[in-house]
Amino acid sequence: MDIHEYQAKEILSGFGVEVPPGALAYSPEQAAYRARELGGEKWVVKAQVHTGGRGKAGGVKLCGSDSEIFDACEDMFGRKLVTHQTGPEGKGVYRVYVEAGVQIEREIYLGLVLDRSSQRVMIVASAEGGMEIEEISAERPDSIVRATVEPAVGLREFQAREIAFALGLMPSLVQQMVRTLQGCYRAFTELDATMVEINPLVVTGDGRILALDAKMSFDDNALFRRPQISELRDKSQEDPRESRAADRGLSYVGLDGNIGCIVNGAGLAMATMDTIMLSGGAPANFLDIGGGASPERVAKAFRLVLSDAKVQAVLVNIFAGINRCDWVAEGVVQALRELQVDIPVVVRLAGTNVEEGQKILAQSGLPVIRASNLMEAAQRVVGAWKNDVAQATEVRAAQ
């Protein structure tokens, strides 16, 4: 789960990371008022969206007066901010963060991520801040400092000092950097984060180290024990299909194809999508109904997949271990009868109670296309989809 910049800064501030003064606004008028409250002569207005690259897309603007703040907000509110991370659909801007301007002497990149190879938290830092880490890695690979943290002891002060010196910081700033690093590490580990990124972390003209931007992501599976983090979720920034699935206990990822997938198990879901592609189709989603799926859960999965207008065929691929094929078949029949599905549906069942499941499908009287293995299922769903498209084209041509 991602959160907004202002939320990440509030969290990090509680762990000792220094941030510039700022305030949230939901309208141009409120943004101008917030700037007057903050005082000063320069302010930065930032669109609060879950994406990087906001500055290049016009989502971060430096302002020197009430009228400039008002105009900047007028341009941001209600628009879709399109960056290289959002894709062409963009992210809606419904709130902005107004921050007091600071005099910047230096910019530093700082990130904490889970390194799967070492199974440790890795700190990644660079003296070349203000750029995406991919750009830094490509253009200034020698500037990147990496350090893994031993979980048994945490980030020790000597290790934080080594990072500070490797970044070329003045001795007078080292202790501030140590506090910043340790604060970020504590926030990461104590709140079940998967990423903390500050870009840029700046050295100001008056000798302070400030987090000028901040991003945090959290492990969805740990939110049950972090209610204070779960409350920060902003559904307006999420794919509505994925939000609906999460609210119903389903794992769903929306894709750009037109063949819906209902599968149990992430590995089987990946194999199913690959086989659909190999057969000449394109998956519309990744949907894992998990183990022990009841007929009602399968029906919910069907409703979710069919709520996507792009879906023109559905493939149900179940290898039942904990699941039962008869339950899945009952869910498929229930969904098809309730929803009056008029697109091809291909079902492949294997495993526990497969004979009972096949019998339920056969006796339902519904136009379900059955398959005995994954390759056959993928070929049949792609073939049925192409046949439907061809028939629809002929009808339009006749009209």
pLDDT digits over 90-147, tens only? 889 999 999 999 999 999 999 999 999 999 999 999 988 877 777 877 787 888 999 9
Q: Which CATH superfamily is domain 21-101 in?
A: ATP-grasp fold, A domain (3.30.1490.20)
> Mean of the pLDDT values across residues 299-328?
87
**pLDDT for residue 242 is more than 80:** no
> Mean of the pLDDT values across residues 36-65?
92
Q: Is 178 labeled as ligand-binding?
A: no
**pLDDT for residue 282 is more than 70:** yes
Q: Is 105 a catalytic residue?
A: no
Q: Is 213 labeled as ligand-binding?
A: yes
Q: Give the start-end residues of each E strand in 65-222.
A: 80-81, 91-92, 96-100, 104-115, 120-126, 144-149, 193-204, 209-211, 215-218
Nearest to 124 by CA among 150, 98, 146, 109: 146
Predicted local confidence at residue 399, as pLDDT: 64
Alpha-helical regions (H) of 114-247: 133-139, 157-166, 171-190, 227-230, 240-247
> Mean of the pLDDT values across residues 242-255?
76
**pLDDT for residue 393 is more than 80:** no
- Is the CATH number of domain 1-19+103-238 3.40.30.10? no
Q: Is 135 labeled as ligand-binding?
A: no
| Amino acid identity, position 183 | G
Cα–Cα distances (Å) from 34 to 3, 27, 54, 276, in that order, read 22, 10, 21, 53
Predicted local confidence at residue 293, as pLDDT: 64
Q: Which CATH superfamily is domain 240-389 in?
A: Succinyl-CoA synthetase domains (3.40.50.261)
Cα–Cα distances (Å) from 22 to 34, 46, 115, 283, in that order, read 8, 10, 33, 43
Q: Is 54 labeled as ligand-binding?
A: yes
* Selected catalytic residue, list 97, 109, 185, 252: 109
Cα torsion 323, 326, 327, 330: sign: positive
Backbone angle region of 130, left / alpha / beta, with phi > 0 → left and psi within -120 to 50 → alpha: left
Q: Are 274 and 350 in contact (CB under 8 A)?
A: no
* Selected catalytic residue, list 6, 185, 197, 242: 197
Task: Give the pLDDT band (50/70/90) at residue 309.
Answer: confident
Q: Is 300 labeled as ligand-binding?
A: no
* Residue at token pair 């939901």: 26
**H or E segment at 254?**
strand 251-254
Percent of the chain with pLDDT over 70: 97
**pLDDT for residue 315 is more than 70:** yes
Task: Give the pLDDT band (50/70/90) at residue 395.
Answer: low
Q: Are 332 and 316 in contact (CB under 8 A)?
A: yes
Predicted local confidence at residue 251, as pLDDT: 78
Predicted local confidence at residue 22, as pLDDT: 96
For the ranges 87-96, 220-229, 242-251, which has the lowest average pLDDT?
242-251
Say how far apart CA 150 and CA 386 lie, in whole Å: 54
Q: Is 102 labeled as ligand-binding?
A: yes
| Average pLDDT taken over every residue of the chain | 90
Q: Is 197 a catalytic residue?
A: yes
Q: Is 107 labeled as ligand-binding?
A: yes
pTM value? 0.78
| Amino acid identity, position 230 | S
Residues contacting 45, CB < 8 A, separation 6+: 31, 60, 61, 63, 69, 72, 73, 76, 96, 97, 98
**Most confident range, picked from 82-91, 232-241, 266-275:** 266-275
Predicted local confidence at residue 245, as pLDDT: 72
Predicted local confidence at residue 291, as pLDDT: 66
Q: Are 163 and 172 in contact (CB under 8 A)?
A: no
| Amino acid identity, position 303 | R
- Locate 88 and state its tokens: 């062409």
Percent of the chain with pLDDT over 90: 62
Q: How many C-beta atoms surround the C-beta of residue 196 within 10 A?
A: 27
For 17-34, what is each residue's pLDDT tens digit? 999 999 999 999 999 999
Q: For the chain, what are the domain ranges?
A: 1-19+103-238, 21-101, 240-389
